[in-house]
Amino acid sequence: MSFSKQLLISTLLIFINVLIGRYFPFASSFLVFLVAFIISSLPVKSNSQLYLKVFLVIVTILLNDITVKLFSGIMDDSEGEGVATLFLIATTIVTTVITMIVLIQGSPKKAIQVCAICLLIPISVGLYLCYLTR
């Protein structure tokens, strides 16, 4: 599967999650895990470089969080902000672990490199939480 197809599938999943979140705000928050599982499982079928695979996962996690916070109405109060941040952190952990497992199975000789690259996921989400959220 090419990188452009993966990007298209990820974008469609995020768009569907946003539509669900527009009419059922907390349902989209719970569907974040399903979206994250599908997105982090996509790199298995790709023949692109490791950096691009992890970059796709990072971009889709952050884009999903931004769209859920903007369009789902979950950010109306402090409780909603906490729930959205909690789901972002949980999604980051789950996605990092799944991406590591998937990429190590795809190339077991590069296990150390895969682990180092996959650590970019929580680092980038941490930077996002520190500098780009309120």
pLDDT greater than 90 at residue 126: yes
pTM of the model: 0.84
Which whole number is the average pLDDT over 31-60? Answer: 80
What local confidence, expressed as pLDDT, does residue 44 receive?
Answer: 64
> Nearest-CA neighbor of 129 among 99, 89, 69?
89
The whole-angstrom separation of Cα 71 and Cα 48 is 32
Residues 19-44 have pLDDT tens digits of: 887 888 777 777 877 887 887 777 76
- Domains of the chain, by residue range, sit at 3-131
The answer to whether 106 and 90 have CB atoms below 8 angstroms apart is no
Which whole number is the average pLDDT over 109-125? Answer: 90
The C-alpha angle 55, 17, 9, rounded to 5 degrees, equals: 45
What local confidence, expressed as pLDDT, does residue 127 receive?
Answer: 94
Residues 67-100 have pLDDT tens digits of: 888 887 777 778 878 888 888 898 899 889 988 8
The label of the residue with tokens 């298209």 reads 8
